[in-house]
Amino acid sequence: MTDANLLMKARAALKAVEAPGGDIVSCGAIEGLSATTGGVVRFTLNADKAGANAQALLERARAAVEAVEGVSRVAAVATAHRAQTAPAGGHANPFALDKKPRIEKAAQELAGVKNVIAVASGKGGVGKSTIAANLAVALGALGYRVGLLDADIYGPSLPTLFALSGKPDIVEGKIRPVEKFGVKSMSIGLLVDAERALAWRGPMVMGAIRQLIGDVEWGALDYLIVDTPPGTGDAHLTLAQSKRLTGAIIVSTPQEMALADVRRGVELFRKTNVPILGVVENMAWLETAPGEKTHLFGKGGAQAAARDLGAPFLGALPIEPDLRIACDEGVPIAFRAPGSTIAAALSALAEKIAARVS
Ligand code: ADP
């Protein structure tokens, strides 16, 4: 039930928050303001109307409403920028300028999520996103409740892998994940312009991760699989600092160079006390004739590296053209052809991971 009196008081409190074009109510940045008799106030901050520092404004707006007598909870979220032009001297970013990205607080929002698993790789192009997405679908097929968060800020792949497009729905101040292939998914690529995100550093990346974790309605899940950017950087540190990571999976191809990067990835997670659930070797061989394996990039490199690093080896996956085609067509192979050899291998990987977690 609407509390008209509280609604008026909340609007008045918001009018005291200054934005570049006047106060945030007058410049039209507040949308969907509501107040219930239970004291819950909800609103959306339109990032385009609010200006470049939407995240900082959101925090101020939230604080202003929280201070109103009778308010028990504030559910507020900033929408993504739609404008194509970046403001002078900066990059349009709904998550920007949040100087205190309270990642631990945001992570508390994952109360209903039992396990958060980061999928990482030393470098790009090794199949990290492919494995993260198919692993999520395979875990779903095993009967688990699964979420998939594409946090690869510098090259989100989920819009392609799951054929997702358009802005996500925001309901009662929360970003609603897209339910597809038995998985609840959300990609940074649906919220921001990927090209612009390439320039993000430090606080912007941290703010984005915080919002992806805290402001998406993940609900009750057994596993939240997080596809991280390649290499080791701010996104990984932020996730580790959330203190919610159950563990990390490292994906590598067998080559030496990739393996040097794997070592760096393992080190970062170890330093931040995140358990390494294991290393997966991808593109390990190509079946050139039935039963005949050609090890294009050398044999057993990732397994040997896992042993050196004291990390479990979770298994190897072949180069499988059907897997690549399914990725490009936006239907995960674990969903499209669950009976195929590659889908069975992915399912076995999912079972192994579930067993390691439990
Ligand atoms: P990353 O996330 O590490 O950058 P991607 O998951 O985007 O890598 O994979 C890079 C490319 O390799 C994609 O075209 C994907 O379809 C393809 N690919 C990944 N793993 C395999 C595989 N086992 N067999 C065939 N193609 C693969």
The residues with which 77 forms a beta bridge, in sequence order, are 44
Compute, in angstroms, the gap from residue 74 CA to the centroid of ligand 1.
Answer: 41
pLDDT at 161 over 50: yes
pLDDT for 97 equals 39
Atom 24 of ligand 1, nearest CA residue:
319
Compute, in angstroms, the gap from residue 153 CA to the centroid of ligand 1.
Answer: 17
More confident: 309 or 179:
179
With a 6 Å cutoff on the Cβ, whether 174 touches ligand 1 is: no
d(CA 13, CA 19): 13
d(CA 114, CA 184): 15
With a 6 Å cutoff on the Cβ, whether 161 touches ligand 1 is: no
pTM above 0.85, yes or no: no
Q: Which of 286, 277, 266, 210 is nearest to 56 (CA)?
A: 210
Compute, in angstroms, the gap from residue 126 CA to the centroid of ligand 1.
Answer: 6
pLDDT for 128 equals 95
pLDDT for 89 equals 37
Atom 15 of ligand 1, nearest CA residue:
324
Is the CB of residue 15 less than 8 Å from the CB of residue 46?
no
Compute, in angstroms, the gap from residue 125 CA to the centroid of ligand 1.
Answer: 6
Domain extents in the chain = 4-78, 103-357
Residue type, 239: L
The pLDDT tens digits for 19-53 are: 877 888 888 888 888 888 888 888 888 877 777 67
Query: What is the number of other CB atoms lying within 10 angstroms of the CB of residue 34?
Result: 16
Q: What percent of the chain has pLDDT over 70?
A: 89
The pLDDT tens digits for 278-288 are: 999 999 999 88
With a 6 Å cutoff on the Cβ, whether 191 touches ligand 1 is: no
Compute, in angstroms, the gap from residue 321 CA to the centroid of ligand 1.
Answer: 10
Query: Look-up: residue for tokens 């997966």?
Result: 280
**103-357 matches 4-78 in CATH topology:** no
Pairing mode, strands 30-35 and 40-45: antiparallel
With a 6 Å cutoff on the Cβ, whether 325 touches ligand 1 is: no
> How far is it between the farthest Cα atoms of the chain?
75
pLDDT for 95 equals 47
pLDDT at 299 over 90: no
Atom 17 of ligand 1, nearest CA residue:
324
The pLDDT tens digits for 321-348 are: 999 999 999 999 999 999 999 999 999 9
pLDDT for 312 equals 92
With a 6 Å cutoff on the Cβ, whether 134 touches ligand 1 is: no
Q: Which of 121, 154, 279, 324 to mutate to test the pocket of ligand 1 (most atoms within 8 A of CB)?
A: 324
Lowest mean pLDDT among 41-55, 127-141, 145-159, 282-296: 41-55
Compute, in angstroms, the gap from residue 166 CA to the centroid of ligand 1.
Answer: 24
103-357 CATH fold? Rossmann fold (3.40.50)
Task: Give, as one character, the DSSP assignment of residue 226.
Answer: E
CATH homologous superfamily of domain 4-78?
A: Fe-S cluster assembly (FSCA) (3.30.300.130)
d(CA 179, CA 169): 12
Lowest mean pLDDT among 13-17, 102-106, 222-226: 102-106
Compute, in angstroms, the gap from residue 130 CA to the centroid of ligand 1.
Answer: 6
With a 6 Å cutoff on the Cβ, whether 319 touches ligand 1 is: yes
Is the CB of residue 249 less than 8 Å from the CB of residue 353?
yes
The pLDDT tens digits for 61-102 are: 988 998 999 988 888 877 765 543 333 333 344 444 343 446
More confident: 305 or 96:
305
Q: Which of 327, 336, 340, 349 to mutate to test the pocket of ligand 1 (most atoms within 8 A of CB)?
A: 327
Alpha carbon distance, N-terminus to C-terminus of the chain: 43
* Average pLDDT score, the chain: 85
Q: How confident is the model at residue 276 (pLDDT cuts 50, 70, 90)?
A: very high
Q: Which of 317, 319, 298, 306 is nearest to 250 (CA)?
A: 306
Closest ligand 1 atom to Cα of 321 = 25
Query: Look-up: residue for tokens 């508390």?
Result: 108
Helix, strand, coil in percent for the chain, rounding step 5: 40, 25, 40
